[in-house]
Structure 1
Amino acid sequence: MVTKLVAWMAQKKEQPTIKAVRRTLVMIFPFVLLGSFMQILAQSVFSQTGFLNSIFQLSDKVPAFEKIYYFFTNLSFFTLGISALLAAYQVANYQAKYLHKDGAMAGLTGLVCFLILVIRPLDGTGRLNFNWALLGTPGLLLGLLVGCLVGNLFNLLGKKTARQVERTDDVLARAFAALPVITLALLLCLLFNLAVAFFSGQDAVTNFFAGMEAFADNQDRVGTVVGLGIISNLLNWLGLSGPYNTIGTVYGDQKYLDNLNYALSHGSAVNVPYKYTVTTLYQSFGMFGGVGATLALLIAISLVSNSHRALRVSRWSFLPVFFNVNSPLMIGLPLLFNPLYLLPFVLAPCFNMLIASLAIKWQLITVLTYPVPVGTPGVLVAYIGTNASISSLVLGIVLLGIDVLLYIPFVKVADAVSCKLTGGI
């Protein structure tokens, strides 16, 4: 069974579109990695509510502390924050090159088409306005789809080009040859964007995901919270935002605030009114290393993997993943769209939440009630949020160990697929 799965996966990964997507994710990995480090510096170190700042009081010691925060925030945007835009360019480029079409022109067309799709054409201000969130990892699926569509359009309608073009006149000839395809691609994207804005509203997608988050924040039943966790993990595996906002989370949903007020007024968090929420279950025990409990995957790779590439990516990703920023692992390994890791990615956090809910029910642990600094490592979230409860810390470490065991078989299968693709090298 495993042998057949390995052979099937190796065959699928050699298909042109899948190969283009995989190579694109590898190409944008350095930008995502650098952006993740910038994000950690902004959130954990140079934010007034950051984890490391709360420990070392850096805001009182470092000159221009707030300016440094904005500096790293902006750097993060221009690396991690435009990953979907980069993906749209690179996939279109690869797709066209595979059939000896004009990859450079296809890549530029994919980039412009993506910008057209994320613009708000009817905002009424007269200024250029983008849906900025879609430029980054929440829009990664859209960027990859746009790149694939543009690349295929060039393959269908574009002219073949020589591999080496050296003269300026040849470049100009390529530009004119690609002009009909470019015009068609841009026109299709513009019409699609206008149709969505006109019939569905300017911010239909943004409002939909915001509505999902608002719905998720109001839940207090184990089954609902775990079910929404499955949906959120699955959507993140697809490169989309889920019901649970997981990046730079500030614990401020109404049920968390009600629990905090109860604990402050009664001097105890034992009988808080809401025990099974996104904060007490998902944020506390479902995010060890970000979405999908990817800190466990990183540890599993370090323990059993023989893949040089996987080990190299995991080493570079350790610091971001430890601070719950798992974008480098999602893109560099990759985890995105990778069926080999789908089951543990979706189910490991949900297993953690179910066990944690039983521990809460049996009063083995208290729930996260108190403020948690932004950028706190996942394994310490419950410990800090329960006012240094040792039982919560022990439970988190035990669950992390179980998650590692859950990931290990899948890491071994991924190694086998990688070995088959490289001919045993």
Structure 2
Amino acid sequence: MMENQLINFTQRLTKKHFYQAIINALRILLPFEFIGISLHIIYETTFHRNGIFEAIFDLHSHIPAFKQIGMTLKVSESLIFLSIALLIAFLVADLLVSSSTKYQNNHLAGLISLILYFTLISETSPSLNLLQISESSGNILLPIVMGLIIGFSFLKLQSNFHSTFDTNLSILLFFIFILIVGAIGLTVHQTQYYATLFYQQVTSLLNIGQHPSFFKILLAVSLRNIAHFFGMISDFTNTVANHFPDESANLAYASAHHNLWKIPYPITFHTLYNSYGMLGGSGMLLALNGTLLFKVKDKQMQFAARLSMGQTLFDQGGTLLFGIPVLFNPLLLIPFLLSPLVSMILAFLFISWKLVPPATYMIPNATPSLLRAFLGTNGDWRALILSLICVAVSGIIYYPFVKMLNRATLEQGDEMHD
């Protein structure tokens, strides 16, 4: 019964023009996301001084122009991700207008949305430095909202005028939007009130700065993954979940005593979530990726799953988020939130029962997913076994929802042919 209700809700949602605009924009940008994630993995593993391959093979001593290549990769990656955010703002507005109106689409809505979004992130970034602007564009919910606002505004105005905009009205509206959003952006940049207030409330709730309880770690992970599911992928969501000080104490103890079994804080965000609850990225995407490869029937989704498999092995799930898409997909929300929590509960039990030592050592970004806990425990094979168990259990959690995804896609295809 609940399965039918969830499928029916999803099918009704997919018929909405605004939802179609969002999903189609993400899928159009899949190649860009794939390239950006690939460059990110190469940079983080090979050309970052803390990268796993650099640490193992001492690559900076053997690769000519090591720093220059790394900087080129970093800048290219930033440009691609910034372009993705700008194109999301353009495509959502443009697709919404083109799919919802009988009037000729001259792409003006998309262009205005793109320029306004760039104006906003430029004014709210600390400076006009490319890397800082790119970091400001990491939250893809903002360009989506911008595109929807501009798109719906154009549709409303078109319905009132019953014709396409004349040139003078278009120019007038363009500058009005620029002035309004510019004023809002400048105010946000000057005050940062909303971010400060929200951050204070969340950190107060989680008691960041103190040793958190197991349930507060679960809460932090849930907040982080809810934010990521709706496209709020930014430094803030990472900061909420990562700034717990007990990991430094654990690392200091392990370095002094060379004993992971007696560290002062065996249950931390790092020992649970970083090591076992985010294999493949937020939402245990490695498990979803594997389930999709074996179960999904839609050719477009099969392609996205094959394309992203190598990346989820390196803890980067962006291509999968865009290609299925996982983002904003009601059928995948429950397992996206549930599978990391179940994996963390398993890790909590194994660590508490002294079956696995806590993963104490810090692991470089983009380290292969299944090796995170293994390396974090200095090569303990039991941590590797637990990682495999967590992926398998998460795959079982995803399995019925992937079946529903198949059913919803199949029924939607049948309706299109009727």
* TM norm. shorter chain > 0.5: yes
Q: Is the 8 A contact 1:141 1:238 kept in 2?
A: yes
Counterpart check, 1:120 vs 2:127: no
CA 1:217/1:130 → structure 2, altered by over 3 Å: closer, same or farther?
same
Q: Is the 8 A contact 1:217 1:278 kept in 2?
A: no
Counterpart check, 1:227 vs 2:230: no
User: Which residue in the other structure is 1:179 paired with?
Assistant: 171
User: Which residue in the other structure is 2:39 paired with?
Assistant: 38
2:125 & 2:192 partners in 1: Cα distance?
Answer: 7
Q: Is the 8 A contact 2:261 2:357 kept in 1?
A: yes
Deviation at 1:203, TM superposition (A): 7.4
CA 1:205/1:28 → structure 2, altered by over 3 Å: closer, same or farther?
farther
User: Which residue in the other structure is 2:17 paired with?
Assistant: 16
1:33 & 1:422 partners in 2: Cα distance?
Answer: 26
Matched to 2:312, the amino acid is V
Q: Is the 8 A contact 2:211 2:244 kept in 1?
A: no
1:21 & 1:225 partners in 2: Cα distance?
Answer: 32
Q: SS of the counterpart of 1:372?
A: coil
More off after superposition, 28-37 vs 82-91: 82-91
Consecutive unaligned residues of structure 1, counting only runs of 5 or more, are 163-172
Q: Give the alignment's TM-score, normalised by structure 2.
A: 0.89
Q: Is the 8 A contact 2:212 2:244 kept in 1?
A: no
Deviation at 1:358, TM superposition (A): 1.2
Q: Deviations over 1:43-102 (max 9, x none)?
A: 012212112223333222211112111111111111124422221111111122121354
Q: Is the 8 A contact 1:25 1:332 kept in 2?
A: yes
Counterpart check, 1:97 vs 2:98: yes
Deviation at 1:215, TM superposition (A): 5.4
Matched to 1:176, the amino acid is N
User: Which residue in the other structure is 1:245 paired with?
Assistant: 238
1:107 & 1:66 partners in 2: Cα distance?
Answer: 38
Q: Is the 8 A contact 1:220 1:277 kept in 2?
A: yes
| RMSD value, Cα | 2.8
Report matched runs for 1:168-317 at 5 Å. Answer: 175-198=167-190, 201-202=191-192, 204-205=194-195, 216=208, 218-241=210-233, 245=238, 254-317=245-308
Q: Is the 8 A contact 2:48 2:70 kept in 1?
A: yes
Deviation at 1:244, TM superposition (A): 5.5
More off after superposition, 21-30 vs 58-67: 58-67
More off after superposition, 355-364 vs 294-303: 355-364
Q: Deviations over 1:20-50 (max 9, x none)?
A: 1111111121111110000001001221211
More off after superposition, 173-182 vs 20-29: 173-182
Matched to 1:144, the amino acid is I
More off after superposition, 297-306 vs 237-246: 237-246
Q: Is the 8 A contact 1:46 1:53 kept in 2?
A: yes
Q: SS of the counterpart of 1:364?
A: coil
Counterpart check, 1:339 vs 2:330: yes
Identical aligned pairs, as a percentage? 25
Deviation at 1:129, TM superposition (A): 9.1
Q: Is the 8 A contact 2:7 2:331 kept in 1?
A: no
User: Which residue in the other structure is 2:74 paired with?
Assistant: 73
2:131 & 2:237 partners in 1: Cα distance?
Answer: 23
1:236 & 1:210 partners in 2: Cα distance?
Answer: 20
Counterpart check, 1:150 vs 2:150: yes
More off after superposition, 366-375 vs 227-236: 366-375
Q: Is the 8 A contact 2:284 2:336 kept in 1?
A: yes
Q: Is the 8 A contact 2:209 2:243 kept in 1?
A: no
Deviation at 1:175, TM superposition (A): 4.3
Q: Is the 8 A contact 2:361 2:376 kept in 1?
A: yes
Q: Deviations over 1:239-264 (max 9, x none)?
A: 11476629xx9x99632221111112
Equivalent pairs, count: 407
Deviation at 1:233, TM superposition (A): 0.6
More off after superposition, 104-113 vs 76-85: 76-85
CA 1:211/1:6 → structure 2, altered by over 3 Å: closer, same or farther?
closer
Q: Is the 8 A contact 2:276 2:387 kept in 1?
A: yes
Q: Is the 8 A contact 1:51 1:373 kept in 2?
A: yes
Deviation at 1:361, TM superposition (A): 1.0
Q: Deviations over 1:206-260 (max 9, x none)?
A: 88559958955744321110111111111100111476629xx9x9963222111
Q: Is the 8 A contact 1:92 1:103 kept in 2?
A: no
Deviation at 1:156, TM superposition (A): 1.4
Q: Give the alignment's TM-score, normalised by structure 1.
A: 0.87
Q: Deviations over 1:129-170 (max 9, x none)?
A: 99625653x3210100000100111111246778xxxxxxxx
More off after superposition, 262-271 vs 310-319: 262-271
Deviation at 1:197, TM superposition (A): 4.0
Q: SS of the counterpart of 1:282?
A: helix
CA 1:256/1:81 → structure 2, altered by over 3 Å: closer, same or farther?
farther
1:394 & 1:301 partners in 2: Cα distance?
Answer: 22
Deviation at 1:274, TM superposition (A): 1.3
User: Which residue in the other structure is 1:87 paired with?
Assistant: 88
Between Structure 1 and Structure 2, the one with more helix by share is 2
Deviation at 1:103, TM superposition (A): 4.4
CA 1:109/1:356 → structure 2, altered by over 3 Å: closer, same or farther?
same
User: Which residue in the other structure is 2:402 paired with?
Assistant: 411
Q: Is the 8 A contact 2:78 2:131 kept in 1?
A: no
CA 1:121/1:55 → structure 2, altered by over 3 Å: closer, same or farther?
closer
Q: SS of the counterpart of 2:359?
A: coil
2:397 & 2:379 partners in 1: Cα distance?
Answer: 28
